[in-house]
Amino acid sequence: QKEVEQNSGPLSVPEGAIASLNCTYSDRVSQSFFWYRQYSGKSPELIMSIYSNGDKEDGRFTAQLNKASQYVSLLIRDSQPSDSATYLCAVNTPRAGGTSYGKLTFGQGTILTVHP
Amino acid sequence: DGGITQSPKYLFRKEGQNVTLSCEQNLNHDAMYWYRQDPGQGLRLIYYSQIVNDFQKGDIAEGYSVSREKKESFPLTVTSAQKNPTAFYLCASSIVRLMNTEAFFGQGTRLTVV
């Protein structure tokens, strides 16, 4: 099983619709969860971070975390053509022994296309 | 301006050559990372470092080496032992604590074997 898995794409939605991106992770001790957006040929850009169970909203973006199910998702409301990109889920897992820092592992990414 | 600087942006390597990719940050971050990205793929972790003079192998460390002599710098050497080095290489850094450990990326180096 991969450490971080994202729903297979590509995902295509019409402008104005809600895009839903999903991610599961394998290590129960994972503490921090991130969504990055990557435009073609560019480096990833952080768009959301979430650390506690529940929802976190920032503008048109909502991240949802369920640690019991080891599941994190990203909803993009009122999708725009400028949202067309690859979305990467990343998970930070502490090292054994409880130190604060661990590996930051990425999923394979989901390509999102928003068509007018 | 604070940030992460990778150089060069494009790099060409001949078969059998070692090449070194530069990564410098002025964000005062303790942790630094190197990732490799192949076309249509996610990011795979090569090496990471939490403090000066300490680093750990990631998932695909074979054929690569790193050093962390200064907090600001984390260069990656792609050795001749790396059989398929053509890829997009990304350096990132973050603070070290339990929460708010967002990682920020440089602009990347695109390495091509010629």
Of B41, B58, B90, the CB nearest to A108: B41
Chain B residues whose beta carbon lies within 8 Å of the beta carbon of residue A45? 105
Chain A residues whose beta carbon lies within 8 Å of the beta carbon of residue B98? 31, 94, 100
Of A46, A49, A109, the CB nearest to B42: A109
Contact A109/B41, CB-based, under 8 Å? yes
Question: What is the SS3 assignment for B11?
Answer: strand
* pLDDT of amino acid B83: 86
Chain A residues whose beta carbon lies within 8 Å of the beta carbon of residue B49? none
Q: What is the largest CA-CA distance in chain B?
A: 43
Residue A99 has pLDDT above 80, yes or no: no
As given in the structure block, the two tokens for residue B83 are 């059989």
Contact A31/B98, CB-based, under 8 Å? yes
The helix, strand and coil proportions of chain B, stated in percent and rounded to the nearest 5, come to 0, 45, 55
* pLDDT of amino acid A8: 73
Q: A46 exposed, middle or buried (CB, 10 Å; 0-12, 13-18, 19+)? A: middle
Residue spans of beta strands (DSSP E) within chain A: 4-6, 11-14, 19-25, 32-38, 45-50, 54-58, 61-66, 71-76, 85-94, 102-106, 110-115
* pLDDT of amino acid A104: 83
Contact B58/A42, CB-based, under 8 Å? no
Chain B residues whose beta carbon lies within 8 Å of the beta carbon of residue A42? 107-108
What is the average per-residue pLDDT within A85-102? 76
Mean pLDDT by runs of 10 across the 114 residues of chain B is: 90 91 95 92 91 92 97 96 93 78 92 91
CB-based contacts of A15: which residues, under 8 Å, 6+ apart? A79, A80, A81, A114, A115, A116
Report how far residue B70's alpha carbon sits from residue A2's, in angstroms, rounded to the nearest whole number.
33
Closest-CA residue to B50 (of B42, B38, B41, B58): B58
**Beta strands B109-113; B10-13: pairing state:** parallel
Report how far residue A55's alpha carbon sits from residue A113's, in angstroms, rounded to the nearest whole number.
24
CB B64, CB B106: distance < 8 Å? no
* pLDDT of amino acid B1: 62
Closest-CA residue to A25 (of A71, A73, A86, A94): A71
